[in-house]
Amino acid sequence: MSAKKDQPSSHFIKRIINADNESGKWDGRVHTRFPPEPNGYLHIGHAKSICINFGLAEEYGGKCNLRFDDTNPLKEEEEYVNSIIEDVKWLGFDWEDRLLFASDYFQQMHDFAVDLIKKGNAFVCDLSSEEIRNQRGTLTEPGTESPFRNRSIDDNLDLFARMKAGEFSDGERTLRAKINMVHPNLNMRDPVMYRILYATHHRTGDEWCIYPMYDWAHGLGDSIERITHSICTLEFEDHRPLYDWFLQALDTYHPQQIEFARLNLNFTVVSKRKLKRIVDEGVVDGWDDPRMPTISGLRRRGYTPVSIRNFAETVGVTKRDTIVDAARLENALRNDLNKRAPRVMGVLDPLKVVITNYPEDKVEYVDAVNNPEDDSAGTRKVAFTRELVIEKADYMEDPPKKFFRLGPGREVRLKYAYFITCHGAVRDENGDVTELHCTYDPETKGGAAPDGRRVRGTLHWVSATENIAAKVRLYDRLFNNENPEEGGDFMKNLNPNSLQIAEPAFLEASISEPVSGCTYQFERLGYFIADVQHSSSGKLVFNRAVTLRDSWAKHAQKVHK
Ligand code: ATP
Ligand code: MG
């Protein structure tokens, strides 16, 4: 492989791989893995890890495994496994035939444990988990050795076999590594390798009543799969000495663990545990609610795999913890969709417009451009009629200086159609405008005047008679605070207005059957996708993925002032 270190997208993990390839450390192999625990849905932080692991394999012509670290039967479920598979696939990565489960190695892991006992490096301990915790010491105090630490190898083998055979109750005994109770690193103070747990595992059922602990299982999984670079997040840095100790003690294949900084996003939380609480307490519709920072939520919201991969690429890979501005994720989506999203017109907050000089029953089809960024996308026909709707916000009785849209006596362009001039407004008993009366200039078809006269405002519109009515879900940040943890409990900082519903919204009829999975640009309003779960026959529901411009920037200024 050629050295990539001069490329701008280079980062420290690539430099490690380049050096390994030069020295021949792994015979030029690059084999990574993405190792989720199936105890929740994947979030945007996981997307970064997926992009790093699968991305490096792709870039170096190597391999990446999808391995479920399913060692805790109490929290793991099949539903999570399936969602994770779907999400990684949707992001566009391929593990080929390497869909793997740590639970498939339970027998091998057990045999390795027996090996370690035989080498005098592990012992069966009768202390309760609480006693073990109490004797562990602290950063400033040494730990205390277990009274069972010096059992004979034969006793340990016998007791471990009986643990496995189900002779003891939940938590009655553990198997612990015999390392060093005064080690400055607490992870090295005779850590537990196996616990007794009578729980049904989503794959192995009731076959096991002893379950391996994460630190023991993870390195073995890497070793069994002959991973070269075991990439994980910084919180595992303190676990690396243990990772190395286990593999050295077993004298077996030994990958290199490399840590990078987690991705954090402001205005949201990226922790399965916290996201689960938001789901369980009914704040959102479920793990894939479009307000959630989960991959499935982002997908339902209208995010594209490309936008998420580009985002992951631009935030980079470092060893320094940072909080990324959520606006960058939104910008990655805009950048992708601006080039590709088909344009349509829709009105979310309708105000009726009657074109008084337009024939009553006439339906005329005007040509609308599908994507100004892409000529090959062509044009479509949009129905123009005497009665139309425009956005309420596009009309003002008493417009201020910079307002170039509709007002009494003003002329504007209706996009792709005609110039219209407003001559009057109808009001309800509260004095609110319910209808505008306008005239159109038949000479301005297509949106240009032959006499060269100009208008400053261009409005989107939809026929009031030839359209489809829809419900549109508009989302705001899930949290009010940039740092949801502010004040201690993130649940207290939830934004109660994170969902607004526009109904009825009117959309041009061309979108009556939206292409599944396609995110559209509603002109001037943002990007929208049909919501598969909320839509039913005859009832279209759209989600807004993101506005056209970073409307949040204004809000942020307000917050920061
Ligand atoms: P959570 O705290 O949300 O439960 P986790 O780290 O426990 O996350 P795992 O299923 O163990 O979740 O993670 C799978 C992989 O994804 C791990 O390698 C982990 O380091 C990585 N990962 C998890 N969260 C992030 C994040 N925010 N940024 C980057 N990588 C992450
Ligand atoms: Mg974890």
Mean pLDDT for 65-81 is 95
**Rounded distance, CA 248 to CA 220, Å?**
11
Residue 305: cis peptide before it, omega within 30 degrees of 0: no
Rounded to whole angstroms, how far apart are CA atoms 391 and 481? 31
Residue 551 has pLDDT above 60, yes or no: no
- Find the mean pLDDT for residues 47-56: 98
Measured CA distances, 154 to 128, 145, 150 (Å):
22, 20, 11
Which pLDDT score, from 0 to 100, does residue 553 have? 52
- Per-chain mean pLDDT for the chain: 95
Phi/psi region, residue 166 (left: phi>0; alpha: psi -120 to 50; beta: rest), is left
CA dist., res. 287 & res. 84, Å (int): 12
pLDDT, one tens digit per residue, over 390-408 is: 999 999 999 998 999 999 9
Q: Which domains does the chain have, with CATH numbers?
A: 12-260 (3.40.50.620), 272-342+470-560 (2.40.240.10), 346-460 (2.40.240.10)
Rounded to the nearest whole angstrom, what is the distance from the C-alpha of residue 232 to the centroid of ligand 2? 10
Mean pLDDT (whole number) for 439-462: 96
**Nearest ligand by distance to the CA of 43:** 1
CA angle 550, 556, 560 (to 5 degrees): 160
What's residue 9's pLDDT? 65
Task: Give the pLDDT mean for 412-434.
Answer: 96
> Does any ligand 1 atom lie closer than 6 A to the CB of residue 262?
yes
The one catalytic residue in 14, 33, 37, 415 is 37
Residue 501: its H or E element: strand 499-508
Which residue, among 288, 337, 266, has the nearest Cα to 560 in the 3D structure? 266
Q: How far is the CA of 33 from the centre of ligand 2 (A)?
A: 14
Task: Indicate the range of 84-88, 250-254, 384-388, 515-519 predicted with least confidence.
Answer: 515-519
pLDDT at site 559: 40
What average pLDDT does range 410-432 have in this prediction?
Answer: 96
Query: H/E/C letters for each residue in 177-236?
Result: ECCCCCCCCHHHCCCEEEEECCCCECCCECCCCEEECHHHHHHHHHHHCCCCEEEEEHHH
Q: Is 343 a catalytic residue?
A: no
Complete DSSP assignment for 303-329: --HHHHHHHHHHH---SS-EEE-HHHH
At 513 the pLDDT is 87
Instruction: Tell me which of 165-169, 333-337, 501-505, 530-534 is least confident.
Output: 530-534
The reported pLDDT for the residue numbered 211 is 98
Q: Using the atom order of ligand 1, give the atom closest to the CA of residue 272.
A: 3
Residue nearest to atom 23 of ligand 1 (CA): 46
User: Band of the pLDDT at 534, cuts 50, 70, 90?
Assistant: confident
Query: Which of 84-98, 253-267, 287-301, 545-559 bottoms out in mean pLDDT, i.e. has the lowest?
Result: 545-559
Closest ligand to Cα 233: 1
Residue 272 annotated in active site: yes
Q: Which residue has the tokens 């740590």?
A: 102
* Per-residue pLDDT at 340 exceeds 80: yes
How far apart are the C-alpha atoms of 443 and 357, rounded to whole Å?
13
Q: What is the pLDDT of residue 533?
A: 79
Residue 384 in this model has a pLDDT that exceeds 90: yes
Q: Which residue has the tokens 């705001």?
A: 476
Interval between CA 40 and ligand 2 midpoint (Å): 10
Ligand lying closest to the C-alpha of residue 271: 1
3-state secondary structure of 529: strand
pLDDT-based confidence at 490, cuts 50/70/90? very high
Sign of the CA dihedral running 76, 82, 84, 85: positive
Q: How far is the CA of 75 from the centre of ligand 2 (A)?
A: 11
Ion ligand 2 neighbours (CB, 5 A) are 37
What confidence score (pLDDT) does residue 443 get? 97
75 touches ligand 1 (CB under 6 Å): no
pLDDT digits (tens, 9 = 90+) for 156-202: 999 999 999 999 999 999 999 999 999 999 999 999 999 999 999 99
Q: Is the pLDDT of residue 8 over 60?
A: no
Say yes or no to pLDDT of 499 above 70.
yes
Q: How confident is the model at residue 556 (pLDDT cuts 50, 70, 90)?
A: very low
Active site residue 274: no
Query: What letter would DSSP give residue 353?
Result: E
- Kindly state the average pLDDT of the residues 430-458: 95
> For 62-87, what is the mean pLDDT?
96
CA distance linking residue 416 with residue 484, whole number of Å: 44
Does the Cβ of 259 fall within 6 Å of ligand 1?
A: no
DSSP state string for 380-448: EEEEE-SEEEEEGGGB-SS--TT--SB-TT-EEEETTS-EEEEEEEEE-TTS-EEEEEEEE-GGGTTT-
The residue to mutate among 46, 311, 319, having the most atoms of ligand 1 within 8 angstroms of its beta carbon, is: 46
Mean pLDDT of 501-519: 93
Structure tokens at 52: 């790093």
Cα separation of 51 and 73, whole Å? 27
In the DSSP assignment, the letter for residue 373 is T
Summarize pLDDT for 233-279 with one digit per residue, the tens: 999 999 999 999 999 999 999 999 999 999 999 999 999 999 999 99
Counting Cα atoms < 13 Å in the Cβ hemisphere of 63 gives: 14
pLDDT of residue 5: 41
pLDDT over 70 for what percent of the chain?
96
Q: What element of type H or E holds 59?
A: helix 44-59
